[in-house]
Structure 1
């Protein structure tokens, strides 16, 4: 109990110290013009007289003369009144300590951004088969009577009565009988014509989707079958069933759609900012709610060349084998994690980047309680770190905590605004 009271007391004192610092900052700054005209209390904001800056890389500022670490040019003195000098603010070290400001050194780091997306299971389009009527007829018997029913390759789906198919069978039987009844003295021309009649009758049945095994059986038995079986072209599930018993069908009518789910797709949509990290061959880690504790691996095989005009995203597709129990079903959701390319880049902690309007800013610690806002350009973010494309150099110290306290200081706001104004004048 006593330890708990002491712990709570320490937290209260720490919070009181930080709160006092913030209140003190706002109190010293004041809220009206009269307060601005007053002299700042001693030790609050220090005067910065001379610093040294690279004439080519303005982000390089040092307290002593020297050379630019980027281009090697000699640093030049920045006199009081210069834009860069106006961008520097200083605090009493005790105030900085009370605010709990932490900094981190900028250095090179290996980043491999993980892009997390919501995916959805879809049928592999290359494994979808349509069973279509090729002749006029009537459904005499419906074998595959349920949508979602599992069927095997070659399994009978319906039995169809078609006068045209009956006629085609009779033609084949007649052609076979004619060929066999030719006398031994028949000329080669007659035998050739008889063979053409048989092949023509066979081709007609084949063009109507009659299986070769059925034609072979017909040639042996010479018995016309009135209810012809229509079989499944592949194993899978009946995704669509468009017929009922007794229904008449016409050439072109889709009777069934069979989908093989032994291999499926997972589709997801990637925003424009992440497209540079996604390409054909990217590895993906997939998790499904109905497979707790399991992770499946897949590879991106397609990245859409077009953006969706409504969502401003590009579709990607991943292909993976289904489980033996066929646990992956179309329309299921998936958690997708794409692993980006590993690169060695200059990086800072993600929380050190301030998004200020259209610009991004980092607060650079110059030591001795002095801070300077620096405009930066960022790249990818991964594992809590953000890539720096421009604006910082290796070895710089950036603030990674209490930025909200520092930003409450109007001198820092003014420094940022001075930097923006200088940039706008330079653009003009």
Structure 2
């Protein structure tokens, strides 16, 4: 009898324990279901930082809210030894380094500890201080210490599915090297400059006078003659003549009469105005094409002979003197002309103008990666030529950049940055 009671009591305990375990398991699965179900978020396409939990209109611009699609989660693998393997395959005798980011906690807020960057050396394991995961390589590229690393993201990374990219009209193109040739266009006039002719005559007379009295016993007379020559030479420089032209004038002792009355078949001078930001591209000896309003079908050939050393503070332009062939005596003093100067910049790394978002302070491009990942990069550009910008910093040859749809991607990036910032503040506040 006692043995039957013990068996019955044991069965009862096992039944109660199994029932309690089943109930607790169901409760956890229900809790997980509740946690996994995220509420819908709506945002304004023009003001992505303004979000709502229900459809409606933006109170700022009255545009309809758009539902934010849920992001596809990308699993983070613990590749603690992956960095060591890549380093070992490279050159084990030399020290290698990886520039890494923990993808799971890439916070875009300034000074937020959730943005993790680490330098991993061979055999070293670095843990993310936020999630505790081993920071793994994101690109698999080995960068030697002391060498310039490849360009990387300088802003938030946004994930947009390839389907959505196609829907909003995103197109991409590679960054490559191409021959750049810039054409500088300037306006000007055919020279009528009696003042310069008079100054040239004064300079010639000063030189002749200095030579005549060089054997004078009176030193102050010699010094006075030299000072007059020096003053006339300086005035020619201020009027825009180059040192080569002054030396030529000193040798020939013949002033340029074409500056006020060009003879038949003689060359004339044209004064063209170059904008301040283009002055660095102009040099003496460059060929120039001149067009006159009076002769629209004719193109006159010229050469840059001198560049004025003083900038015009009112127009922010610099004057270049061009010697123009005038064989048929068509060009007359004070005629308005247009000038073209073609300058070859050589082979440069270039990116399409449409790929750049210019904020006025920064120039941003989005680089396309695998699985719909788009990296924000700050770049430094040089000259703009025929729809392309010269790239000085921020991109490497072969990078795939977004060439259209940048504004929508930037809007999505700002939205996700704002959402991440809001979530980060909530976590810090808990």
Q: How high is the TM-score relative to the length of structure 2?
A: 0.50
From the superposition, tell whether residues 410 and 88 of structure 1 become closer, same or farther in structure 2 (CA, over 3 Å): closer
From the superposition, tell whether residues 100 and 368 of structure 1 become closer, same or farther in structure 2 (CA, over 3 Å): same
| Corresponding residue of 2:346 | 343
Q: Secondary structure of the equivalent of 2:165?
A: helix
| Corresponding residue of 2:398 | 395
Shift of 1:95: 1.7
| Corresponding residue of 1:298 | 302
From the superposition, tell whether residues 49 and 287 of structure 1 become closer, same or farther in structure 2 (CA, over 3 Å): farther
Q: Secondary structure of the equivalent of 2:354?
A: helix
Query: Take 1:370 and 1:406, find their aligned partners in 2: how far apart are those partners?
Result: 11
- Does structure 1 residue 107 correspond to structure 2 residue 107? no
- Does structure 1 residue 34 correspond to structure 2 residue 52? yes
Query: Take 2:342 and 2:416, find their aligned partners in 1: how far apart are those partners?
Result: 38
Task: Report the aligned-residue RMSD.
Answer: 4.3
Note if contact 1:128-1:260 (Cα within 8 Å) is conserved in structure 2.
no
Shift of 1:80: 2.8
Shift of 1:355: 1.3
Shift of 1:331: 2.7
From the superposition, tell whether residues 390 and 79 of structure 1 become closer, same or farther in structure 2 (CA, over 3 Å): same
Match of 2:324 among 312, 320, 345: 320
TM-superposition CA deviations, 1:284-304 (whole Å, max 9, x none):
222222222332221111122
From the superposition, tell whether residues 114 and 234 of structure 1 become closer, same or farther in structure 2 (CA, over 3 Å): closer
| Corresponding residue of 2:315 | 311
Q: Secondary structure of the equivalent of 1:404?
A: helix
Match of 1:270 among 274, 291, 297: 274
Counterparts of residues 61-140 of structure 1 (less than 5 Å):
73-83=97-107, 87-123=156-192, 128=197
Query: Take 1:260 and 1:414, find their aligned partners in 2: how far apart are those partners?
Result: 71
| Corresponding residue of 2:288 | 284
Query: Take 2:180 and 2:188, find their aligned partners in 1: how far apart are those partners?
Result: 24
Note if contact 1:379-1:388 (Cα within 8 Å) is conserved in structure 2.
yes
- Does structure 1 residue 404 correspond to structure 2 residue 407? yes
From the superposition, tell whether residues 260 and 391 of structure 1 become closer, same or farther in structure 2 (CA, over 3 Å): same
From the superposition, tell whether residues 99 and 335 of structure 1 become closer, same or farther in structure 2 (CA, over 3 Å): farther
Note if contact 1:406-1:412 (Cα within 8 Å) is conserved in structure 2.
no
State which structure, 1 or 2, has the greater radius of gyration over its C-alpha atoms. 1
Note if contact 1:286-1:334 (Cα within 8 Å) is conserved in structure 2.
yes
Query: Take 1:319 and 1:292, find their aligned partners in 2: how far apart are those partners?
Result: 20
Q: Secondary structure of the equivalent of 1:331?
A: coil
Shift of 1:397: 0.9
Query: Take 2:415 and 2:281, find their aligned partners in 1: how far apart are those partners?
Result: 36
| Corresponding residue of 2:365 | 362
Shift of 1:390: 0.3
Q: Secondary structure of the equivalent of 2:105?
A: coil
TM-superposition CA deviations, 1:24-62 (whole Å, max 9, x none):
974698784534999x967454556769xxxxxxxxxxx
Query: Take 1:280 and 1:29, find their aligned partners in 2: how far apart are those partners?
Result: 52
Shift of 1:121: 2.0
Task: Kindly indicate which of the two structures has a greater share of residues assigned to strand.
Answer: 1
Shift of 1:411: 2.7
| Unpaired segments ≥5 residues, structure 1 | 1-23, 52-64, 133-232, 240-256, 419-428
From the superposition, tell whether residues 414 and 119 of structure 1 become closer, same or farther in structure 2 (CA, over 3 Å): farther
Q: Secondary structure of the equivalent of 1:307?
A: coil
Larger RCO (CA under 8 A, 6+ residues apart): 1
Counterparts of residues 213-232 of structure 1 (less than 5 Å):
none
Q: How high is the TM-score relative to the length of structure 1?
A: 0.50
TM-superposition CA deviations, 1:263-311 (whole Å, max 9, x none):
2222222223212211111222222222223322211111222221122
TM-superposition CA deviations, 1:181-231 (whole Å, max 9, x none):
xxxxxxxxxxxxxxxxxxxxxxxxxxxxxxxxxxxxxxxxxxxxxxxxxxx
Query: Take 1:336 and 1:388, find their aligned partners in 2: how far apart are those partners?
Result: 28
